[in-house]
Amino acid sequence: MTAHPFSTLRDLLRYAVTRFNTAQLFFGHGSSNAFDEAAYLLLHTLKLPLDKLDPFLDARLLPEEIDTVLKVIDRRATDRLPAAYITHEAWLGDYRFYVDERVIVPRSFIAELIPEQFAPWITDPESVTHILELCTGSGCLPVMLADAFPNAHVDAVDISPDALAVAQRNVSDYRLEDRINLIESDLYANVPKRKYDLIVTNPPYVNSTSMSQLPQEYQHEPRLALAGGSDGMDLVRRIVACAGQRLKKDGLLIVEIGNERAHAEAAFPEHELTWLSTSAGDDMVFLLSAEQLQ
């Protein structure tokens, strides 16, 4: 164990912020700046409450605690590993999910809309009995959907068995095995032949130009879960093409496409896409009705 010029959490927090800013890290996996990221990593590593920094700032740390924290700071700054892969957890709203490098770090604007039960487009949430969620990754959205729609069974699909293993852990953590069915499938291929009230998806949608320019942090994530082809719409086209056959007559398709609105509108000129409002604006998530898709 080495002697360090640090003794308190405040010392380490200052050091971490400087390291992160000097390394010009990219923050897009939960935190938006070096201070928040450093505070989260330090509190998590020291097993302190994530919402209580101030009471501990001037607490003196044991030498072995300082060693452990410095290793975490170094992994983030040198390896540019997303914080979620260091802590094996990610948060969407009030929901905590297990993550590792088999899945992308959960981040979704659809997640903001689920607690509102997609109002006003869904007027009777209790009547929603079957939901299909495509490209589930870590299984975060089906957990939230099962919570928001108490009478719904959710079929959650991913092509990656590795991702589904992570999703299974999250479904089990929330004790939703009886309401969420995980399916290994290339989109609709192995999905039960039933009609759904709702199809929800946050598919790979990053266009090839953007893929080539991604910050190093994103290069730790599975490429399969990000790359959407030359215009980002390869999977989205396939999802939209078959959704009409899989929806009930008053069903809805909800698709997240990030910063690809122009590409989405170019891909579906025959449809008037309804754009849903999120914290990042009105061009991240679109909706199509079963009627439009017939």
State the residue range of the domain holding 287: 107-293
CATH number of the domain at 186, please: 3.40.50.150
- Residue 85 contacts residue 118 (beta carbons within 8 Å): no
Signed CA dihedral, 259, 123, 145, 32: sign only: positive
Signed CA dihedral, 212, 217, 221, 225: sign only: negative
Q: CA angle 24-217-86, nearest 5°? A: 105
How many structural domains are present in the chain?
2
CATH number of the domain at 16, please: 1.10.8
Indicate if 137 and 69 belong to the same structural domain.
Answer: no
Indicate if 190 and 53 belong to the same structural domain.
Answer: no
Weakest mean pLDDT among 28-32, 177-181, 224-228, 276-280: 224-228
- Mean pLDDT of all residues belonging to the chain: 93
Indicate if 38 and 75 belong to the same structural domain.
Answer: yes
- 231 assigned to some structural domain: yes
Indicate if 77 and 131 belong to the same structural domain.
Answer: no
- 1 assigned to some structural domain: no
Indicate if 124 and 203 belong to the same structural domain.
Answer: yes
pLDDT digits 0-9 by tens, 144-188: 999 999 999 999 999 999 999 999 999 999 999 999 999 999 999
User: Which DSSP letter does residue 183 get?
Assistant: E
Task: Report the candidate in 9, 6, 31 with the shortest Cα–Cα distance to residue 91.
Answer: 31
Q: Is 25 exposed, middle or buried (0-12, 13-18, 19+ CB in 10 A)?
A: buried
Indicate if 67 and 209 belong to the same structural domain.
Answer: no
CA dist 205 → 151, 177, 230, 242, 257 (Å): 30, 29, 10, 18, 6
- 193 assigned to some structural domain: yes
Domain boundary among 87, 119, 146: 87
CA dist 253 → 34, 104, 193 (Å): 37, 23, 17
- 96 assigned to some structural domain: no
pLDDT digits 0-9 by tens, 96-127: 999 999 999 998 999 999 999 999 999 999 99
User: Which DSSP letter does residue 220 get?
Assistant: G
Beta bridge partners of 183: 157
pLDDT at 3: 61
CA distance 253 to 202: 11
Read off the pTM: 0.92
